[in-house]
Chain A
């Protein structure tokens, strides 16, 4: 344990340093005094005695230095010395230090923030059994836009029997319920699943049990599973909830269990019930409502399963050509299913931030180049004076670690603030966006390690590489080169040019990308929704079937009519209307239709349009224009002629040039027609968001088709948010037991719809500005350094008669050449990369000529400014002074 004693003793002396120094001095002085005294005694003169004593002692300073080395911790002391020296160096050149630290902090900060989000959202472990093998199975039909949609029970049955690629396959479907008997009635997002559905996910309830296959049948007693949220809020975390009865839509259900807290699939579901599919459903190929979840057999890849399923579809189609509807099967891995609409924006942002990091690296490399070119001479001198290479390396590494540490720390602070901002990518309660619920983004150790690695790499770039270079060159050569002060060496020229060119190329790619995204956002924001969302309040509710049964439509009619009357009477309300599926709410439903005289298409091939059921006041309240014909009136009653309006898209697609008014739609089947007379054509409404295509819409009067999902819309005189309470009270004065699903100002809903787009375009723009800033700093630094290095050369040129204008042109010319080369490379990269961003773009081509021609000009302007200042400095060099110095 001797080394411990040694270390402790050495550490101890790090403190009370001065005392030890004084003691050493005194001890050595006593030594000399003793020697002098002895020499005097032997008869020497005072001078000779002293000289002999000192000679025999050897080097006084050398002894002290050796003693100090033995005493303390030389490595630590050197480090402290280097640190102090490093801080002095940085303080001496604050512009360099600040630039380097800012570059590092911004680069590391932005990258870490985005990577943290990507890790937290796209890579977080899923709380399901072997989630890599779980897939959602959808049906896509080219005739209906190729979107993944729910399937028919018949298709599901065929896949389950024939495909052979699934270990298990389970059906499910949306099933909204109203809970009563627990305080005020509550509308619940419900989900009906088969018993094996929950087994595929591999979740166990926190209380009670899942339902069995026997309970998953139409004839068994009603059972339900609660979400953790519902259990906590509506049932006050009642530990004895299992086996108690609750009332859903007026029917008694037995609670079997409570699902665990993190279980949120599909998102926002509050209650799960058995799907109880009747055996007869196997023959139903017409109703597409089944959402299928499967677990792939071990060893079966996604691509194999995809191919097998489509082969099965093809066989079925070949066997039954008359019912073939051209469906394809689409498998979506659970992970992608959960990430939904956030996946692409995040991945694209990650690419963008990667470019920012590259620019930061180029900047750092440029700074290091300039900095170390200056220091080659210092290295040479110190080597010549006998400094060891190890010692020099240590000092330079210390200096760069200092920079990297400050920059890295700044970056991590920025990242912490940044992840907070990035939470805006995940607005909660936006029904029509399919994004995961994210309420907090924890800092991830892995990402911190990543940031740390970047910092270390930077330190290496800054510190070690140039010293190694300095060491290779012979000390004398380096000194000669710099003292000659002529044009710079070719290799340093080349690396410098590479830095400028790559910075310009990378910035250009980011700028075009950002330009496209921001231009898209502008278009989306300015896109006409087809209705006026300002001063418009919506009140969504669901009429529970126990009190508003479909067998008694009059009750529904009376309710809506009474509420509209009360709402209309409220002060500050200009007009009131009612619809079933509120635009932007995420609720929607379709009907297939046939035109008069049309040959009946194959089953499932009939054109479809969205169902919109409205009261006569709806168009006015929403400010949806009526383009032709007439609006519904109070005369369009249940017992009158069945009337309908269609939107412009439908009129254009299905009636071409003809006037649709006066035509009729068959909303039944060819055998059992259900005719509706078209009386008007309305303007288009963007019901799924500003950036989504408009569907064909069929409007029908509520009175002729009383639908249980109801959304009242109120055009208000003042801010619609302030009207929520009075509107709800007016509604409850008609029926105090109805839960309000959502009361939302429509402008808020419209704005929330754009949340992801807004945040991602803001981020993209921020990255582009950051890139531009970094590039500007980088180009300035490199050019300024070029001018400094070529001082003598410029002096000679000017002494030989070059004018200031010529020098300015020469230096600017260098900047221009590098900029143009960078732009050429950048444009090529941008052409290749922007194509990948198609999903973020809206009505802007990935090759938008305006953006592709503007971005280079912005960059040229920036590069010119950044190189003008150094060039002007070059032109103002006094030739005599430049030649005389050094």
Chain B
């Protein structure tokens, strides 16, 4: 397999899922997976299945809620939505992530 896709960094998947839910509102698992692929421009090598354990983890932490509903194509599906605690978590995680990203880019900037 060509190595033009990046593996998903540990911990970043959670933030991606939360961010997706913030942007799109309640969504089922397939929708979240597709959305992440689209936003990343298909540059991530993501097994769609991995988002289910992630969703469960987020739900156990109380950051997302789930409920059964009916999808646009008229199928029964489990819909995930952001909880207030999840919203707060996004703020913290974003700040955290930006700090790391800034630090990393300073390291990676071409040296003169």
Contact = CB atoms under 8 A, between A and B. Distances in A.
Interface of A: 2, 5-6, 9-10, 23-24, 26-28, 30-31, 33-35, 37-38, 56-60, 62-63, 66-67, 69-71
B76 A31 contact: no
B78 A23 contact: yes
B52 A27 contact: yes
Interface in B37-91: 47-50, 52-53, 56-57, 59-62, 71, 73, 75-78
Given A30-B30, A57-B47, A59-B49, 12 more contacts: A6-B60, A9-B60, A24-B52, A28-B52, A30-B71, A30-B77, A31-B29, A34-B73, A58-B49, A63-B50, A67-B53, A70-B57
Given A5-B60, A6-B60, A23-B78, A34 B30 contact: yes
A575 B56 CA distance: 97
Contacts of B73: 34, 37
Contacts of A71: 56
Contacts of A66: 49-50, 52-53
Tier of interface size on chain B: 20 to 34
Contact of A33 (B34, B47, B75, B78): B75
A6 B78 contact: no
B53 A70 contact: yes
Contacts, number: 77
Nearest to A32: B30
Q: What 8 A-B pairs are tightest by C-beta distance, nearest first?
A: A58-B47, A63-B49, A34-B30, A58-B49, A30-B77, A66-B53, A31-B30, A70-B53
A2 B61 contact: yes
A33 B78 CA distance: 13
A2 B31 CA distance: 28
B61 A34 contact: no
10 contacts: A5-B62, A10-B60, A24-B52, A26-B78, A28-B52, A31-B28, A31-B30, A62-B49, A66-B49, A67-B52
B89 to A, nearest CB: 11
Contacts of A27: 29, 52, 77-78
Would you call the interface of chain A mostly helix, strand, loop, or mixed? helix
A724 B56 CA distance: 85
B47 A59 contact: yes
Contacts of B31: 34
Contacts of B77: 27, 30-31, 34
A63 B53 CA distance: 7
A63 B52 contact: yes
A111 to B, nearest CB: 48
A431 B24 CA distance: 95
Nearest to A9: B60
Contacts of B47: 56-59, 63
B28 A34 contact: yes
A865 to B, nearest CB: 60
B78 A60 contact: no
A5 B30 contact: no
B30 A35 contact: yes
Nearest to B52: A67
Contacts of A63: 47, 49-50, 52-53
Interface of B: 28-31, 33-34, 47-50, 52-53, 56-57, 59-62, 71, 73, 75-78
Contacts of B60: 5-6, 9-10, 70
Contacts of B56: 67, 70-71
B35 to A, nearest CB: 12
Contacts of A28: 49, 52
Given A23-B78, A63-B53, A71-B56, A34 B71 contact: yes
B75 A57 contact: no
Max chain A Cβ within 10 angstroms of own Cβ: one of B30, B71, B75, B77: B30
A1 to B, nearest CB: 10
Contacts of B30: 30-31, 34-35
A58 B28 contact: no
B13 to A, nearest CB: 12
Contacts of A60: 49
A71 B55 CA distance: 11
Contacts of B71: 30, 34
A66 B54 CA distance: 10
A66 B73 CA distance: 28
A693 B30 CA distance: 99
A57 B62 CA distance: 25
A521 B71 CA distance: 91
A826 B30 CA distance: 76
Nearest to A26: B76
Contacts of A67: 52-53, 56
B40 to A, nearest CB: 14
A52 to B, nearest CB: 11
Contacts of A69: 53
Residue of A9, A26, A28, A31 contacting most chain B CB atoms (<10 Å)? A31
A513 to B, nearest CB: 63
A66 B34 CA distance: 21
A557 B61 CA distance: 100
B102 to A, nearest CB: 27
A206 B67 CA distance: 74
Which of B28, B34, B49, B73 is most buried by chain A, counting CB atoms within 10 A of its CB?
B49
A57 B57 CA distance: 19
A668 B60 CA distance: 102
A2 B57 CA distance: 12
B53 A30 contact: no
A596 to B, nearest CB: 107
B22 to A, nearest CB: 20
A26 B71 CA distance: 13
A666 B33 CA distance: 120
Given A2-B61, A6-B60, A70-B57, A58 B78 contact: no
B31 to A, nearest CB: 8
